[in-house]
Amino acid sequence: MAPLVLRTVAETVAWAESIRRSGRRLALVPTMGYLHEGHVSLMREGRRRADVVAASIFVNPTQFGPKEDLSRYPRDLEGDLAKCASAGVEAVFAPVPAEVYPPGYQTYVDVEQVSQGLCGARRPGHFRGVATVVTKLLCIFKPQLALFGEKDYQQLQVIRALERDLNLGVEIIGMPTVREPDGLAMSSRNAYLSPEDRQRALALSRGLAAAQALYRSGTRETSALVGAARRELEAAGLREDYVELVDATSLTPLPAIGPGQTARMLVAAFAGTTRLIDNQPIGG
């Protein structure tokens, strides 16, 4: 069935309240639209864990820097609604920016520690925008659970922190990255890639796999593990934004992987003008 399309905060609050009053568990999947199988996996898991799934489709202006791709971010509301319908989403909140940030808007959420470094350092203000809009969405829907992808790994840690620090009482579920058959992490921004850059972009997942293979062969030093990933980016002609090995929860940089340490490698690189990110655990 086609999802109910909610355009205003007031009707969304009322809809969510009616779900709560009926005693049903609500799951929320926040997105920026141009949906792909990664988004759909979150929606299906939401259906499995709750009685009702809602999604939001909102290209959030406050998380884009002045030189970033806000105006050309891909959009396809009609196609997105069809995908939501087939994933069993009951309602979609698709507001215009002035509905979320009306005149006089002045409140922002800053998650101070895990927002630093990595994408936070390269995209100043990005996580402030993400944290603000996610907090608002959780306040509007008051869902029992909300699902996010590990593809945006730092974002997931930011959201876990804001939920905990602000006592929002929402279960935050992190879901594995859905990949194309050749390993490229699905992303709405893959739509920007020329066929040549699409091919080059495979170096992100290949680099992470090379680092993991080196770990398996006994290497524990960050410089060598990061070097293995970097070599793949360079060989493919991608411009590195960062390659870092960090503690999987605090996101602090690690000089080496110690015994029992959960480490994660995060990478960001430009294929042409398109900035892509990927990450995976290193260890085990």
Ligand X SMILES: Nc1ncnc2c1ncn2[C@@H]1O[C@H](COP(=O)(O)OP(=O)(O)OP(=O)(O)O)[C@@H](O)[C@H]1O
Say which of 12, 16, 31, 39 is annotated catalytic: 39
Q: Does residue 60 belong to the site contacting ligand PAF (CB under 6 A)?
A: yes
When the beta carbons of 93 and 148 are compared against ligand X, the nearer one is: 148
Q: How far apart are CA 258 and CA 218, in angstroms?
A: 12
133 binds, among ligand PAF, ligand X, ligand BAL, none (CB under 5 to 8 A by kind): ligand PAF
- 32 near ligand PAF (CB under 6 A): yes
Contact at 8 Å (CB) between 40 and 87? yes
Tell whether 126 is in a known binding site. no
Instruction: List Cβ neighbours of 20 (8 Å cut-off, separation of 6 or more).
Output: 26, 142
Q: Which of 54, 119, 131, 186 binds ligand X (CB under 6 A)?
A: 186
DSSP letter string, 141-202: H--SEEEEEGGGHHHHHHHHHHHHHTT---EEEEEPPPB-TTSPBP-GGGGG--HHHHHHTH
Q: Which does 138 bind (CB under 5 to 8 A by kind): ligand X, ligand BAL, ligand PAF, none?
A: none
- Looking only at residues 164 through 223 of this chain, which bind ligand PAF when binding is defined by CB under 6 A? none
Tokens of 85: 């319908």
Specify the amino acid at residue 226.
Answer: V
Specify whether 126 is catalytic: no
Tokens 């259906």, located at residue: 47
Does 152 contact ligand BAL by CB under 6 A? Answer: yes
Applying CB under 6 A, which part among 10-18, 90-98, 127-135, 225-233 lies near ligand PAF?
A: 127-135
- What is the DSSP code (8-state) at residue 7? -
- 189 sits in the region (left: phi over 0; alpha: psi -120 to 50; else beta) called alpha
Maximal CA-CA distance, the chain: 57
The site that binds ligand X (CB under 6 A) totals a number of residues, namely 18
Q: Smallest gap, in angstroms, from Cβ of residue 33 to ligand BAL? A: 11
Binding-site ranges for ligand X (CB under 6 A): 31-32, 38-39, 41-42, 148-149, 151-152, 175, 177-178, 185-189
Residues of this chain that interact with ligand PAF (CB under 6 A) are 30-32, 60, 63, 130, 133-134, 152, 155
Active-site positions read 39
